[in-house]
Amino acid sequence: MRRTNVVAWAALVVAVAALVSSRAVTRPVPAAAGIPSEGQKEAKALSEAFEAVADFVRPSVVKINVIHEGGIRMINPRGGRNPNPMQPNSPKDLEEMLKRFFGPEFEFPQQQFGGRAQGTGSGFVYDDKGHILTNNHVIDRATKVEVVFHDGSKATAKVIGADKDADVAVIQVEKSSLRPALRGKSGALRVGELVMAIGAPFGLGQTVTTGIISATERSDIAITAYGRLIQTDAAINPGNSGGPLVDMDGRVVGINTAIATGAASSSNAGVGFAIPIDFAENVADQIIKTGKVKYARLGVQLEPLTADLAKALKVDPETKGLVAVQVVPGSPAAKAGIKVGDVITSFNGTPTINPGSLRSQVALSAIGKEYDLVLIRHGKEQHVNVVLAPAEVVDSRFEGNDESPKAAENGDEAQSLGDFGLSLQALTPELASRLGHPKTAKGLVVTEVKEKSPAEDAEIQVGDLVSSVIKNGDSVAVDSVESLQKIVGKSDEITLLVKSGKGANGGLTRFVTLKKAK
């Protein structure tokens, strides 16, 4: 009897559990939370804004096909092996790049590397006279230039002119009913601002990518002779060269020109560069008017003011400016009285941000015109007037290429400079020639750099030239080790003007502050 009751109770428990389980399964499941309407509105508004910009700009963007005689030549706008991943270094590099992009089954058109070859780039309509703006490296050495428009129509273009230093070129078609792209102000760009790149990557015409302004005033990369490049993460790839970078008003703010990428790839890695339109349109206008570009020069080499330099030069450490490290004899800077050690804070009313920015601003300023330049010397602000000269005149005198008295012979033996870790001797013409210094150079040659010394930490190398030392806020020239030792005395900190020889730094002139180890 007891056994029967146990079985009955067990059956009852199982039945109740099944009933509960069944009801749980059929219990209504709450509906998924809906997408917030406000967020969806914002997303749609942004999407519609991109669509509107693309629709507005694309009719003004063109694909450029170029024919080169003698096969494709992979171009480096600055000479030497090409550092610009927008243009592969050889046909083999291009083939490997395309196979990585399209897959190993991609069939490469080998016949293009015979007597004639075709390349692709981008551009945009510049005005209502059929002028089209692109990169110099897109059309360089081209025997035929063909433009493909938004509607698929084609036209042969002639090259009006190009400038290698700026990497800007102007071509022209007879078609005059084209709508020019609107131009914005690249100087007003803000980091984080939304932008769009349009062009023909890998020959795929009318391709649109979006991103932001990653940085402005990039002057520390050797893509063009004049820096101040715009950096963006909008996807830029081979074939985008010459196409526009536009803001959210549909206005061109830059010309896409290069990308930075790893050695294993030549495609986009999120770091692209564009030439600012403010600079490019000035170059283009000169090309259209005269067929060439005239650049101006100030004739001074500069470096950013650091805290150590400000202290040595007796300048307020909060000062923003550039320090003169070399003044070309007979240049506008020399005639205006600018000296090594002067801190330049503005040119023509514009604050000096970095050497590349000032170089670009000066380059396209009027030759022969007087400009106001503000500098600080001995802690006091001064205004000087400079009259800019043609680049070819100033450049011919740079690095002592003009004829002037030779440095005096001096057979002094090398001597050590206290505890700063370097030995020096007076420069002779023979040493200057052998070490890659100008024949007119004067100063002291570094003959030894001790390991783990302040000199080694500052990357001073054997063969470098020490031409002056900062004393009481002034740059004082030195031509003997004894004179330098006398100035240094028992100081724990010195600031030297050092110029590199033929080593890794390749002629760089800079102020170097050495501090004794404590």
Report whether 112 contacts 121 (CB < 8 A).
no
Q: What are phi and psi of 457, to 5 degrees?
A: -60, -30
DSSP one-letter code for 262: -
* Contact assessment for residue 497 and residue 486, using Cβ atoms and an 8 Å cutoff: no
For 254, phi and psi rounded to 5 degrees?
-165, 165
Residue 443 · residue 428 · CB < 8 Å = no
CA distances from 385 to 333, 370, 373, 401 (A): 9, 6, 6, 26
DSSP 3-state assignment of 69? strand
Q: Which two tokens stand for residue 230?
A: 């715009």
**Three-state helix/strand/coil letters over 408-439:** CCCCCCCEECCCCCEEEEECCHHHHHHHCCCC
Catalytic residue selected from 60, 214, 219, 241: 241
Catalytic residue check, 163: no
Cα 65 → chain centroid: 26
Report residue 183 as tokens. 């131009």
**Cα–Cα distance measured from residue 243 to residue 123, given in angstroms and rounded to the nearest whole number:** 4
Sequence length of the chain is 518
Spatial neighbors of 384 by CB under 8 A, at least 6 apart, are 336, 337, 338, 372, 373, 375
3-state class (DSSP) for residue 188: helix
Q: Is 46 helix (H, G, I), strand (E, B) or coil?
A: helix
Which residue, 361, 372, 373, 368, is CA-closest to 390?
368
Residue 406 to residues 191, 395, 428, Cα–Cα distance (Å): 50, 20, 9
Structure tokens at 348: 């023509």
Residue 24 — φ and ψ, nearest 5°? -65, -40
How many CB atoms neighbour CB 97 within 10 A? 18
Mark whether 68 is an active-site residue: no
From the list 437, 438, 442, 444, the residue with the least C-alpha distance to 407 is 442
- Are the CB atoms for 197 and 240 separated by under 8 Å? yes
Structure tokens, 82:
């090409």
What is the 3 state secondary structure string of 25-42?
HCCCCCCCCCCCHHHHHH
**Cα–Cα distance, 252 to 266 (Å, whole number):** 25
Q: Is 437 a catalytic residue?
A: no
Kindly name the residue from 137, 140, 219, 331 that is annotated as catalytic: 137
How far apart CA 447 and CA 379 sit, in angstroms, is 35
Q: Active site residue: 163, 167, 247, 464, which one?
A: 167
Active site residues: 137, 167, 241
